[in-house]
Amino acid sequence: MNQQISTPATTLTVFRQLLSATPRGARLARRLAVYQLDAWGYPHGSDVSEAAAHIVAELAANAVTHGRVPGRDFELRLIRREPDTLRVEVADARGGPEPRAKPLDPQAESGHGLRLVEALATRWGVAERAVSKTVWAEVRTGGRPPAT
């Protein structure tokens, strides 16, 4: 679902989708994000698209792995804030401890995802909700996308 909200100071364009809390849903989240960014003028393979795709993939995988509640979906939200910010939000169905980037362990086979988010995002964090949480990350877009 796309929605545009305008105020005198800023324009927000929002894409929102509920997805099954499964590995397939996580893969679909990444694909939908890349597709939506292309529709907004950030083509597949661009720096903005690549950064957002990696962030969505990690946050969606975490939602499916750590935030899954059987029978409950997770939510992907992309928010384009004019003139230069893209916010990625993934809300899972389980609250709990705030996720943190783990100390670097080169021998570990997993646990590096939030370090990737930290490296790609200008800032990121967690917003607690009543019975769940939203992990978000922001990416600078460098201004308006090229006209399509």
Q: Write down the CATH number for the domain with range 2-140.
A: 3.30.565.10
User: Where in the chain are the domains?
Assistant: 2-140
CA distance linking residue 53 with residue 74, whole number of Å: 17
Q: Are 59 and 88 in contact (CB under 8 A)?
A: yes
Using a cut of 0.85, tell me whether the model's pTM lies above it.
no
pLDDT in tens, 39-83: 999 999 999 999 999 999 999 999 998 877 777 899 999 999 988
Q: Are 40 and 145 in contact (CB under 8 A)?
A: yes
Neighbours of 119 (CB within 10 A): 11
pLDDT in tens, 73-109: 999 999 999 889 999 999 987 765 555 555 555 554 4
* Residue 53 C-alpha from the chain's centroid: 8
Q: Which residues contact 85 (CB under 8 A, 6 or more apart)?
A: 122, 138, 139, 140, 141
